[in-house]
């Protein structure tokens, strides 16, 4: 608790104090927060950030749930191999993974040449430095977390329940809707939280893969601290982002309890 207080809580209070200081450093003020809410630019970036996070979370869930179910219920010895393949990207540096996508998605890159070779497109793809490229990079970064959390929930699901449901005449869809999905909700909620919340504050993928079109709240905070040296305004945006994270976590947890009940 002492370490947490010294190295986590105490610096937050220092940043909170910065957020209420003006650039002149005289007295306390709300001008940093007022500046954020009165500028359409920052509100637009907030909406873009939330949209990107929702899209990444939704697509990750759609892909991760079937994969996690197959791993938990249909694969035996192979599920460990699949798990290792999911974890391997974490052994490489984040920047290496992002720049790999940069090379893959760029005009004249591997992906564009492949699509041209099979006749799906004729010319340049124009995917790099777009919102789609950012979403692809974020899905690659956070998708394994979703798979692992859902897999852990499905792995604990007793197969006898599925056999009982089938023997009582329930269809596969009914079994999924009444048994499998409700009992996997803890893993789903945890996965959504682990993917959605970090997406709100990420800045590496949007910066590299999105360029100007990938600007989000996280990149603005980075600019304020490391480029513009506007620590006061950067601290205010950071605390607004923290509020968004806390509200999102509370909303996701509440939704999970409601669905589970």
Dihedral pair phi/psi, residue 223, rounded to 5°:
-60, -40
Domain boundaries, the chain: 42-260
Residue in 145, 217, 226, 154 with CA at minimum distance from that of residue 186: 154
Give pTM, 2 decimals: 0.87
CB atoms under 10 Å from CB of 118, counted, come to: 7
Q: Tens-digit pLDDT profile for the chain (261 aa)?
A: 888 888 888 888 888 888 998 877 677 888 999 999 999 999 999 999 999 999 999 999 999 999 999 988 887 778 888 888 888 877 888 888 898 889 888 888 888 888 888 887 777 878 889 899 999 999 998 999 999 999 999 988 888 888 888 888 888 888 888 888 888 898 999 999 999 999 998 999 999 999 888 889 999 998 988 888 888 999 999 999 999 988 988 888 887 777 666
> Please, what CATH class does the domain formed by 42-260 belong to?
mainly alpha
């Amino acid at each position: 608790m002492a370490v947490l207080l010294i190295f986590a809580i105490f610096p937050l209070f220092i940043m909170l104090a910065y957020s209420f200081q003006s650039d002149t450093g005289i007295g306390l003020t709300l001008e940093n927060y007022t500046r954020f809410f009165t500028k359409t630019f920052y509100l637009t970036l907030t909406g873009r950030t939330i949209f990107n996070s929702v899209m990444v979370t939704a697509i990750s869930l759609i892909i991760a749930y079937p994969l996690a179910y197959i791993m938990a219920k249909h694969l035996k010895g192979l599920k460990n191999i699949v798990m290792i393949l999911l974890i391997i990207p974490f052994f490489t540096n984040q920047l290496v993974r992002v720049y790999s996508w940069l090379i893959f998605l760029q005009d004249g890159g591997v992906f564009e040449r492949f699509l041209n070779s099979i006749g799906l497109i004729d010319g340049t793809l124009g995917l790099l430095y777009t919102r789609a490229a950012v979403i692809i990079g974020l899905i690659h970064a956070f998708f394994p977390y979703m798979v692992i959390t859902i897999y852990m929930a499905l792995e604990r699901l007793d197969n006898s329940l599925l056999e009982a449901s089938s023997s009582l005449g329930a269809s596969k869809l009914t079994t999924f809707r009444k048994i499998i999905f409700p009992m996997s909700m803890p893993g789903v909620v945890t996965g959504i939280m682990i993917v959605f919340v970090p997406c709100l504050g990420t800045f590496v993928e949007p910066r590299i893969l999105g360029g100007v079109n990938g600007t989000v709240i996280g990149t603005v905070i980075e600019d304020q601290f490391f480029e513009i040296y506007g620590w006061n305004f950067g601290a205010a945006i950071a605390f607004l982002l923290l509020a968004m994270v806390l509200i999102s976590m509370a909303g996701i947890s509440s939704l999970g309890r409601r669905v589970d009940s």
